[in-house]
Amino acid sequence: MKISTFNESLLEVKAQTLVLFLFEEKPLSQEVLQIDKEMGGVIQIAVKEERFAAKKGEMVSVNIGKKLGFTRVLLLGLGKKSNLSSLVLKRGMGTAIRTLTKSKTQKIAVYVPRLSGKKLQAGQIGESLCLGALTAEYQFTEYKTEKKDLPTRVNELTFYTTYPLKTFSRGIEEGEIIATAVNNSRDYGNQPSNKANPSYLVSMAQEVAKTPKVRCKVLNKEEIKQKKMEALLAVSQGAKHPPKFIILEYKGKPSSKDWLVFVGKGITFDSGGISIKPGEKMDEMKFDMAGGGAAISAVEAIANLKLTINIVALIPATENLPSGEAYKPGDIIGSAAGKTIEVINTDAEGRLILADALHYAKRYKPKAVVDFATLTGACVSALGTHASGLMGNNSNLIQKIKQAGELSGDRVWELPLWEEYSKQVKSDIADLRNMSTGLGGGAITAAAFLSEFIKDYSWAHLDIAGTAWSTEEKPYLGKGATGSGVAIAVELARKWK
């Protein structure tokens, strides 16, 4: 999709369809009335005939004949002005793109009127629209061999706006960088595990390391042993593919020793191990590396945005499979931190590999560590698919992440990490158990387990189990991996001080 910006006259716009965003509030703004006049008053007619109220996601397509360089206008409602956010813009743009590609429209212009006062700046608006368009168009088609099954794509997308073109265009460029990273992360999640094993994640990280100032180092099984990452080793025992520990560093501020650390769960397939999962939906567990994928893609975007910050992504990567050599319920294993863990359930493997990565993070003397993990089904029960679970040990960091979530549209909701939960992960015969005693609260007790491995740094945990995968098609997004975690991580890094 070729994206460009444009601020001359509406008479110069050449496209098949013009998309026009409108708010519920009436009367229409002078700016909208002016272009409506040039289009023959179609908006006012639609409003008057009560065919269009501009409710969020509402759409009306109107034919305007041949008087301008486009013959169709797609009116798209954004709802109430006061509720405008980057998420509303992203989804609005996404809905338009998916609607128009279904009718095989390939040349689209978008008119972006002044959307609201100070709430969102021109750059943010450009960025959100661009992100919405590019993520909406994404489809995972690598394994389709029939050309006729491939979706049509938008060739040209032109934004026509009265916003200052320089800041708006910069927003578009940044949106393209972030969307590319988000879509790459979706590719990693959608790749089946027979293609995407730990070595595949390594090659994806090495690809990112071709970007200036990025370096990738990988610990192989021998080095993982030397580092005493016994929890990661235990989880990998049943698999044929060896585990990897990926370290992806971006040094955007070489003068500083400060590091922000991202940790991502990299289970390339989670069968549950000996505590095997039921067959239904087990196929989806190819996306259990979504946290690791998000961490790799966040580094990609941050490096391409050239942010002045030092970031490292740590990704423990392995499969979780049953075999004669697999770790078993009842086993007591070690960890890099030296703590012993009683394995109650081999399906609670994410917290085990993260424990070793969170311990490894310490050597960076991090300003903060944020982990991303499809950690628990309990988080999906608690929050559904609309927000990632957020927990941590530092209210300042939690606050920053909430703000980043709001700005990026990658939504999070905090769950309480009270000390009572920690008691539920203590074992009678080892230091910890990997599955809690007592009833419920599984998303929190998993985080409580992780918190046992945090030493001397601020930490937050994002459980993306519910947000990283979509079983249904949305008006603004296709099925499968969503790339959740990437945009919020980038936003956090951007605002980092």
Q: Give the residue, chosen from 137, 187, 230, 349, that forms a contact with ligand BES under the rule CB under 6 A.
A: 349
| Binding region for Zn ion (CB under 5 A) | 267, 270, 288, 347, 349-350
Task: Choose which of 398, 435, 444, 462 interacts with ligand BES (CB under 6 A).
Answer: 435
Q: Record the tokens describing residue 377, joined without a space.
A: 């089904």
> Phi first, then psi: what are they for 393, rounded to 5°?
-110, 10
Single-letter amino acid, residue 193:
S
Query: Which of these segments, 151-159, 322-330, 377-385, 451-459, binds ligand BES (CB under 6 A)?
Result: 377-385
The alpha carbon of 455 is separated from its chain's Cα centroid by a whole number of angstroms, namely 27
DSSP string computed for 430-461: SSEESS-SSSS-HHHHHHHHHHTT--SS-EEE
By CB atoms closer than 10 A (0-12, 13-18, 19+), residue 129 is: buried
Number of H helices, E strands in the chain: 15, 20
Q: Is residue 298 near ligand BES by the rule CB under 6 A?
A: no
350 or 405: whose CB is closer to ligand BES?
A: 350
Question: Closer to ligand BES at the Cβ: 10 or 415?
Answer: 415
Is residue 347 near ligand BES by the rule CB under 6 A? yes
Q: Determine how many CB atoms are found less than 10 A away from the CB of residue 284.
A: 16
Stretch of 151-159, 190-198, 347-355, 356-364 contacting ligand BES, by CB under 6 A:
347-355
Burial class (CB in 10 A: 0-12, 13-18, 19+), 15: buried
Given candidates 58, 288, 410, 491, which one binds ligand BES under the rule CB under 6 A?
A: 288
Contact status: 350 vs ligand BES (CB under 6 A): yes
Q: Is 377 in the site for ligand BES (CB under 6 A)?
A: yes
Is 351 assigned a catalytic role?
Answer: yes
Nearest residue to ligand BES by CB is 377
Pairing of strands 310-320, 260-264: parallel
* Shortest Å distance, C-beta 383 to ligand BES: 12
Q: Which of 329, 341, 345 is nearest to 229 (CA)?
A: 341
Least distance CB 347 / ligand BES (angstroms): 4
Closest contact distance (angstroms) between CB of 317 and ligand BES is 14
Q: Is 376 in the site for ligand BES (CB under 6 A)?
A: yes
Q: State which residue, 32 or 196, has the beta carbon closest to Zn ion.
A: 196
Q: Per CB under 6 A, which of residues 192..231 are in contact with ligand BES?
A: none
* Annotated catalytic residue, options 351, 367, 400, 433: 351
Question: In what helix (H) or strand (E) does residue 470 lie, and over which residues does it extend?
Answer: strand 469-470
- Tell the residue number behind the tokens 């990112």, with chain if given: 208
Q: Structure tokens of 279? A: 């067959």
Of 193 and 376, which CB lies nearer to ligand BES in the complex structure?
376
Instruction: Report the 10 Å Cβ neighbour count for 439.
Output: 7
The one segment of 135-143, 375-383, 391-399, 417-425 that binds ligand BES by CB under 6 A: 375-383
- What is the biggest distance separating any 2 CA atoms in the chain, rounded to whole angstroms? 80
Q: How far apart are CA 480 and CA 183, in angstroms?
A: 11
Which positions ≥6 away from 179 have C-beta within 8 Å? Answer: 130, 131, 133, 134, 135
- Measured CA to CA, the distance from residue 478 to residue 387 in angstroms comes to 18
Q: Shortest approach of Zn ion to residue 137 CB, angstroms?
A: 30
Cα-based angle 360, 365, 368 (whole degrees, multiple of 5): 90
Closest to ligand BES by CB, 54 vs 343, is: 343
For ligand BES, give the closer residue by CB, 129 or 274: 274
10 Å CB burial of residue 369 (0-12, 13-18, 19+) is: buried
* Residue 481 binds ligand BES (CB under 6 A): no
Least Å distance, CB 84 to ligand BES, is 32
Q: Does 348 sit near ligand BES (CB under 6 A)?
A: yes
What letter would DSSP give residue 148?
A: G
How distant, in Å, are the alpha carbons of 40, 56, 216, 245, 325 from that of 197? 57, 41, 17, 12, 19
- Of 36-44, 253-261, 376-384, 476-484, the window that binds ligand BES (rule: CB under 6 A) is 376-384
Q: Does 292 bind ligand BES (CB under 6 A)?
A: no
CB of 373 to ligand BES, least distance (A): 8
Q: Count residues contacting ligand BES (CB under 6 A)?
A: 16
If the CB atoms of residues 39 and 267 are measured against ligand BES, the closer one turns out to be 267
Name the binder of 380 from Zn ion, ligand BES, none, CB < 5-8 A by kind. ligand BES
The single residue among 121, 345, 385, 393 that binds ligand BES, judged by CB under 6 A, is: 345
The rounded distance, in Å, linking the Cα atoms of 478 and 112 is 24
3 binding partner (options ligand BES, Zn ion, none; Cβ < 5 to 8 Å by kind): none
Active-site hit among 170, 221, 277, 328: 277
What is the nearest approach in angstroms of ligand BES to the Cβ of residue 320?
Answer: 7
Residue 278: asked if its preceding bond is cis (omega within 30°), the reply is no
Shortest distance (Å) from residue 362 CB to Zn ion? 24
> What's the helix, strand, coil split of the chain in %, to 5?
40, 20, 40
Task: Tell me the per-residue interface mask from 444 to 473 with ligand BES, x by CB under 6 A, - otherwise.
Answer: ---------------------x--------
Residues that bind ligand BES (CB under 6 A): 270, 288, 345, 347-350, 374-378, 380, 435, 442, 465
Q: Which residues are part of the catalytic machinery?
A: 277, 351
